[in-house]
């Protein structure tokens, strides 16, 4: 049988060890919850950015329908889709740029991200502006004016898709 002092000492060490293990488990759970919440914020940004790239593809598709359409009804339906999609693209860009509490999108505060948006030699702000200008040219064209050889159409279906799908 162990002396009383040794038994108390072992019991104290055992309780201290269990307390440390409980503290480590608790802190790891708290840390994991924080990591998961941060990932949820990033997933919202990534999802919206992916949605934005999809909107660009949608604009290119419906612009193509406008350019090759033989029917006035089909042309008008495609034009309506382009118009709605322009507004969705602008809204998605604004949300990514300025953040949204409702969608858990943080405000851009990182200097590197600001440079990606504001670079005067080809930042996302200028790229979006140029893309939307071309889309609006196509959108405002009549069926007689628009063709697959128009500069705005070519820009939308080549440069716009390439540029925005990389974002």
17-43 tens-digit pLDDT: 889 999 999 988 888 888 887 776 677
Domain assignment of residue 152, yes or no: yes
Domain assignment of residue 5, yes or no: no
100: left (phi over 0), alpha (psi -120 to 50) or beta: beta
Domain assignment of residue 79, yes or no: yes
Residue 89 belongs to what domain range?
Answer: 43-165
pLDDT in tens, 71-80: 889 989 999 9
Domain assignment of residue 149, yes or no: yes
Domain assignment of residue 15, yes or no: no
Question: What pLDDT does 83 receive?
Answer: 93
pLDDT of residue 165 exceeding 60: no
pLDDT in tens, 142-161: 888 888 888 888 888 887 65
Domain assignment of residue 150, yes or no: yes
Domain assignment of residue 29, yes or no: no
pLDDT of residue 105 exceeding 90: no
Question: What pLDDT does 135 receive?
Answer: 92
Q: Measure the CA–CA gap between 135 and 146, rounded to whole angstroms.
A: 12
Report the pLDDT averaged over residues 74-92. 92
Question: What pLDDT does 160 receive?
Answer: 65
List all residues 6 or more positions away from 8 whose beta carbon is below 8 Å from its beta carbon.
Answer: none
Number of domains in the chain: 1
CA distances from 58 to 1, 14, 52, 53, 88 (A): 81, 64, 10, 9, 11
């Amino acid at each position: 049988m162990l002396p009383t002092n040794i038994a108390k000492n072992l019991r104290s060490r055992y309780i201290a060890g269990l307390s440390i293990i409980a503290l480590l488990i608790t802190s790891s759970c708290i840390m994991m919850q924080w990591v998961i919440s941060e990932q949820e914020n990033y997933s919202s940004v990534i999802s919206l950015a992916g949605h934005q790239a999809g909107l660009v593809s949608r604009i290119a598709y419906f612009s193509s329908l406008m350019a090759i359409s033989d029917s006035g009804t089909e042309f008008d339906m495609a034009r309506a889709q382009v118009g709605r999609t322009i507004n969705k693209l602008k809204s998605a860009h604004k949300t990514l740029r300025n953040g949204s509490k409702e969608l858990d999108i943080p405000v851009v505060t990182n200097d590197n991200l600001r440079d990606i948006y504001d670079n005067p030699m080809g930042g996302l702000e200028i790229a979006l502006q140029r893309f939307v200008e071309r889309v609006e040219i196509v959108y405002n064209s009549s069926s007689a004016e628009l063709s697959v050889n128009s500069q705005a159409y070519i820009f939308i279906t080549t440069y716009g898709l390439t540029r925005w799908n990389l974002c």
